[in-house]
Amino acid sequence: MERRVSNRYRLIEPLGEGGMGVVWRAYDELLDRTVAIKEVRYTGVGDAKRAELNGRTIREARAAGRLDHPSVIVIHDVVEEDGRPWIVMQLVRSRSLAEVVRERGPLTVGQVAVIGGRVLDALRAAHATGVLHRDVKPENVLLADDGRVVLTDFGIASLEAEAGLTATGGLVGTPAYMPPERLNGEPARPESDLWSLGATLYAAVEGEPPFRRDSWAATVAAVLRDEPGPPARAGALQPVIMGLLRRNPDERLPAAEAARLLYEAATSPSTHPTPPGAWRPTAGAANTAEGPTLSTRSRRGRALWIGLPAAVAVLGAGGFLVSNHWTNTATITDPTPAGSTTGPTATPTTSSTPTATPEPTRTLTATPTATPTAAAQPVPAGWRAFRSTQGRFGVAVPEGWRAVKHATRDSISFKGPGTPGAMIVEWTVPDFAWTDPAKQWASLEKEIQAKNEFEGYNRIGIVPTTYLGRKAADWEFTRIREGQRIHVINRGFRTADGRPYALYWETTDARWDSDRRYFETFAKTFRPL
């Protein structure tokens, strides 16, 4: 028999279980939506204690429900039924940071910097309203399929102004991520959450927390007694991690300074090999043409880096976003066969913000092979076959053109004589499958327009089409860049095995008619491998 909570929420299946209860996927029959419900279970306590804990949980869930922030889990409702609380939350399709690190190993500096920035932003918003989280750890950081970072499980949060119940609640939290003052019995404070954030960042970039030991007691002793070992992989993150892990909370790195350091680490070309499918900061990408890709998932809500000017926080189209599938990747390059020739490399930038030092790029050359597959079109006269083992595609390229692998982006740009235009092929392998490329483009366009990120943007069309026997969509538009109107067509599609590609062509608007033949030949000869 199906179970309903509060005669409204129909439980579908358990999503996870922990020491504090079960999280269910459920259906809200009143509002016709799928939600997540946390069934809070307190075992091994008497009736009086259970009532106290239930009251605390309900109060603190309501406190978390007051927060309105894109990186804080949305709490829809709090219900008490069968003698225990049920917390109704937004269902975030995601995996936890702990799961990702466990499955794929330590993340890159750039990925961790972005994750840390968003969690810190959420904490600062919570602290500003008097809410402490008190259990920041990788298990409570959700990496959502839509590109967001969401801090969840405010179930042990405490309103500083309403500390009556929580003050008697005993020690709660995970020792490896708990600050020394909490283990010493002192009350939590905003700096306590910052310490836990530092331990979480350490675990994300190093693969394990700074004070993990063989037992609970040994872990507690290490937090109270030992200094954290300097992280070996942290790079630009080391100052912020070690600053947050200072034992004395009064000496801990202030949140505003931590935000600045995380921003710098996230946007530094030398420390951010961005995962595939992400929006990269256009600052520092002057050597390659940049454009929206089908795998992009834009973050909704206010600017990530609070305390910084908005003009700095918004980094070109879509802002700085992390991959929708959070893979752990390093910069990779295709082999350059001996005897190959290359042409000019200069390509335009679509950056609408000031650029920093250009990112390094790797020059690629055409692999001297035949056409990629038997179904591919013959290579036209004056063109040559190019094959990317990394991107798993083949395409014809004009003679004299140079292929450049982006240093931090899973894309290759093609540029050469005969036109001011540039062609980009971008690829990624997501953990979830979107089904309608036209809707994907329309959604991205809406967000770009809302943020006024393309000067003089004019949509020519988003047209569903069929490409290589698959559903596809062409997004064609013009916009102003550096005083010149450019014309773009971006074809998005997905292969039968789920790999998305974006074929992006841009040139000046004045050259559009004469140069469109380049895009048509690229598209005609492109084949996934």
Least confident of 79-83, 308-312, 414-418, 517-521: 308-312
CA distance 137 to 176: 9
pLDDT for 266? 84
Q: What number is the average pLDDT over the span 32-37?
A: 90
CA distances from 295 to 80, 147, 230, 246, 342 (A): 41, 10, 36, 39, 29
Tell which wins on pLDDT, 201 or 319.
Answer: 201
What pTM value is reported for the model? 0.53
Bridge partners of residue 16, in order along the sequence? 23
Supply the residues annotated as catalytic: 135
Task: Let me know how long the chain is.
Answer: 529
Residue 67 confidence (pLDDT): 81
Which residue has better confidence, 39 or 310?
A: 39
Q: What is the pLDDT of residues 251-265, one digit of tens each?
A: 999 999 999 999 888
**CA dist., res. 109 & res. 114, Å (int):** 9
For the ranges 210-224, 282-296, 356-370, 387-401, the maximum mean pLDDT occurs at 387-401
Whole-angstrom distance, CA of residue 437 vs CA of residue 295: 10
Backbone angles phi, psi at 523, to 5 degrees: -65, -35
Q: What pLDDT is stored for residue 353 in this prediction?
A: 28
- CA pair distance 275, 277, nearest whole angstrom: 7
Domains along the sequence of the chain with CATH:
4-90 (3.30.200.20), 94-271 (1.10.510.10), 310-528 (3.40.1000.10)
Over residues 121-174, the pLDDT tens digits come to 999 988 888 888 888 999 999 998 777 899 988 755 444 433 333 333 344 456
SS3 for 76?
strand
Cβ neighbors of 251 (< 8 A, separation 6 or more) are none
